Amino acid sequence: MILSACALDSSSQKESSAPEKKGNTESTSVKSTEVKEYKATNLAALPEKAKARKDLFIAGISAPGGVFLPYFYENGWDGNVTDPMFAPLVNLDKEGKSVGILAEKWDVSDDQLTYTFHLRKGLKFSDGSPLTADDVAFTLTLLHDPAYAGYQDISLAAIKGGKEYKEGKATSIEGIKVIDKETIEITTEKVNAKSLLLLGGQVLSKAYYGKDYQYGKLDYLKELYPKPLGAGPYKFVKYVAGQEVRYEANENYYAGKPKTKNLIFKVIDTSTSLQLFETGELDYAGFSADDDTVEQLKSLGFANIQVGPVNDFGFIYVNNSRPQFKDKEVRQALIYGLDRQKIVDVKFKGYGEVANVPVSKVSWAYDDEGINKYEFNVEKAKELLDKAGWKVGKDGIREKDGKQFVIRYLTRTAEDPIIPIAKENYQDIGIKFEPEIMDFNALVAKLNDKDYDLAAVSTSQILDPSDPVEEFATNNPNNAAGYSNPKVDELIQKGLNTLDIEKRKGIYHDLYKELNDNPPVILIHYRQSAKAVSGQIQGLNPDNYTGISASLPNISIKK
């Protein structure tokens, strides 16, 4: 539910609306973590508009808001806009493992509390000014300013002295130490597996963004939102609201000037992205996968296509703070009593799977061994509801303590396939199901106020397995489910208290088992997407962690 970058894949913003296929048509769907690739078969079929581009790559983007400064934007598409311009110290590779970008390497102390980053030699921002450890220190200090109210919660890294600086009790942050222009040492007060990415984020120029900095006053930065300066592979040229963001290759990029000189993120309506790709307006686009879309893309001849899993999952919030949902038997019954496979089949038409673990299937932490799959079982659901004291009344609706079991379900679309399926399924086990359609902001407001029974959502892009489960901690302020389980609290913390991936795997497996037995939410689906790249584009390799941003410097156009 966090506003985060959308990996420049319109499939994350667009649900499939293709009609269900009839007859004995062979499905090209994929399962699990398999990625299916279809190579271009006829480059001569390239649209003339695409052929005419010799040094320009165009990708679609939905709705940037014009705040082009990392850590300060509220619109996830603005995050996509900033990625080509602002390089981080550390990023994730296609497997979700850490890899150095501006940092050549880093050391972690034996107690896992001190991080020493070694920057590459000769780093420069796009204007040619030097990028040094002072810029890293400035960036981290800015995030501790009391006026900072952006999405990045740097307090999670627990840098020594950070709290004192934010409270005005210190004029600098004790745990940030610049050793020399290429070395910075950062000391934290607690071990956190996510600290490396928190500390190693995108770097802001102190000379540019810090020249007017005054403690507690960050409004001056608003004038710089539309004039970004970073150290990424591309530099900003112009933004035409509602039309495009234009870039050109950064000759000062540490890895060398990108192969393709010009880059445009074209503002599009996702409902027209397939048409724009077909006519050559776009070189890259992403779609919700279904047989019709995949077959249509294949028929073009000039497209290289990838069909594979998306790094998120869909689920239904259950308001655990309401009396009718406090018993785990009731929540288990809601899962047993809902035909999730039918929902997935209707919604994704062969390009989705039922989710049973709260992490994506592409994550290194995914493990469903020993997990109850909660296969659709009406009799088991009835048995659990009986056990929890919900008895069937005269009108067929279950009652307890004089109250009927009525569920009000919040969703954003009247075409939500969950509505008819859940209505029928839950009626069969004695529960009345009443849907309520509302816009995204209204739904989020009701979740935050815990003013709901059930609500349909999807996670944002999952960078770390802790991301989707942290909110189930009792004291997490974002615990929209109102869930509380001491064992889960302990395992969530343990999962962050070591940097050893193998140890973390075991901890998350134990956590998944506990969340499976005592479920806070109803897990629904994993889904597939289709990504299409014009056949003349070489070097573009979309992945589940950085979208297309990591491969932008390597793009070239076949002559």
Instruction: State whether residue 221 is helix, strand or coil.
Output: helix
129 contacts 207 by C-beta, under 8 angstroms? yes
250 contacts 262 by C-beta, under 8 angstroms? no
432-437 and 406-411: which strand pairing? parallel
Cα–Cα distance measured from residue 344 to residue 290, given in angstroms and rounded to the nearest whole number:
12
**Rounded average pLDDT over 121-140:** 98
**Rounded average pLDDT over 482-492:** 98
Instruction: State whether residue 25 is helix, strand or coil.
Output: coil
**Rounded average pLDDT over 69-93:** 93
pLDDT, position 95: 87
**Rounded average pLDDT over 377-383:** 98
**Rounded average pLDDT over 111-127:** 98
Residues in CB range of 36: below 8 A, 6 or more apart: 28, 30, 306, 307, 308
One-letter amino acid of 48: E
505 contacts 486 by C-beta, under 8 angstroms? no
Q: What are phi and psi of 164, to 5 degrees?
A: -65, -40
pLDDT confidence bin for 68, thresholds 50/70/90: very high
pLDDT tens digit sequence for 263-304: 999 999 878 899 999 999 999 999 889 899 999 999 999 999
517-520: long-range contacts, CB 8 A cutoff, minimum separation 24: 517/328, 517/372, 518/328, 518/331, 518/485, 518/488, 519/318, 519/328, 519/331, 519/332, 519/335, 520/318, 520/320, 520/331, 520/472, 520/481, 520/483, 520/485, 520/488
89 contacts 102 by C-beta, under 8 angstroms? yes
Q: Is 104 exposed, middle or buried (0-12, 13-18, 19+ CB in 10 A)?
A: middle
The two three-digit tokens of residue 298, written as one number: 């294949």
**Rounded average pLDDT over 216-229:** 97
pLDDT confidence bin for 15, thresholds 50/70/90: very low
371 contacts 513 by C-beta, under 8 angstroms? yes
pLDDT, position 32: 59
pLDDT confidence bin for 365, thresholds 50/70/90: very high
Cα–Cα distance measured from residue 404 to residue 174, given in angstroms and rounded to the nearest whole number:
58
Q: Is 108 exposed, middle or buried (0-12, 13-18, 19+ CB in 10 A)?
A: middle
Cα–Cα distance measured from residue 71 to residue 204, given in angstroms and rounded to the nearest whole number:
10
The answer to whether residue 14 scores a pLDDT higher than 60 is no
The two three-digit tokens of residue 363, written as one number: 């994550």
319 contacts 448 by C-beta, under 8 angstroms? no
pLDDT, position 540: 94
Q: In what order do the strands lie in the sheet with 403-404?
A: 391-392, 398-400, 403-404
Residue spans of the domains in the chain: they are 10-66+232-309+533-557, 76-224, 314-528
CATH top class, domain 314-528: alpha beta
DSSP-H helix ranges across 247-327:
273-278, 291-300
6 contacts 76 by C-beta, under 8 angstroms? yes
pLDDT tens digit sequence for 50-67: 999 999 999 999 889 999
H or E stretch at 408: strand 406-411
User: Dihedral angle at the C-alpha atoms of 98, 101, 104, 108, nearest 10 degrees?
Assistant: -30
Residues in CB range of 354: below 8 A, 6 or more apart: 340, 341, 344, 373, 523, 524, 525, 526
**Rounded average pLDDT over 229-256:** 97
**Rounded average pLDDT over 147-161:** 93
pLDDT confidence bin for 2, thresholds 50/70/90: very low
Average pLDDT in the chain: 92
The two three-digit tokens of residue 407, written as one number: 């569920």
Cα–Cα distance measured from residue 241 to residue 220, given in angstroms and rounded to the nearest whole number:
22
Cα–Cα distance measured from residue 16 to residue 525, given in angstroms and rounded to the nearest whole number:
14
pLDDT confidence bin for 118, thresholds 50/70/90: very high
398-400 and 403-404: which strand pairing? antiparallel
**Rounded average pLDDT over 494-512:** 96
Q: Is 208 exposed, middle or buried (0-12, 13-18, 19+ CB in 10 A)?
A: middle
pLDDT confidence bin for 34, thresholds 50/70/90: confident
Cα–Cα distance measured from residue 411 to residue 425, given in angstroms and rounded to the nearest whole number:
17
Please check whether the two domains, 10-66+232-309+533-557 and 314-528, share a CATH topology. no
Find where tokens 């062979």 sit. Answer: 26
From the list 506, 480, 526, the residue with the least C-alpha distance to 340 is 526
Which carries the bigger pLDDT value, residue 138 or residue 440? 138
pLDDT tens digit sequence for 156-187: 999 999 999 999 999 999 999 999 999 999 99
pLDDT, position 8: 46
Domain 10-66+232-309+533-557 has CATH 3.40.190.10: yes
Intra-chain end-to-end CA distance of the chain, in Å: 43
Instruction: State whether residue 225 is helix, strand or coil.
Output: coil
Cα–Cα distance measured from residue 179 to residue 198, given in angstroms and rounded to the nearest whole number:
20
> Measuring CA to CA, how many Å separate 145 from each of 72, 79, 239?
13, 21, 29
What number of residues does the chain have? Answer: 559
Residues in CB range of 357: below 8 A, 6 or more apart: 366, 367, 368, 371, 512, 516, 523
**Rounded average pLDDT over 20-25:** 28
Q: Say what angle helices 340-348 and 418-428 make with each other, to 10 degrees.
A: 160
Q: What are phi and psi of 69, to 5 degrees?
A: -140, 120
The two three-digit tokens of residue 160, written as one number: 């020594």
> Measuring CA to CA, how many Å separate 385 from each of 400, 404, 434, 481?
10, 13, 19, 20
Find where tokens 């069969």 sit. Answer: 428
**Rounded average pLDDT over 305-329:** 96
CATH superfamily, domain at 76-224? Dipeptide-binding Protein; Domain 1 (3.90.76.10)
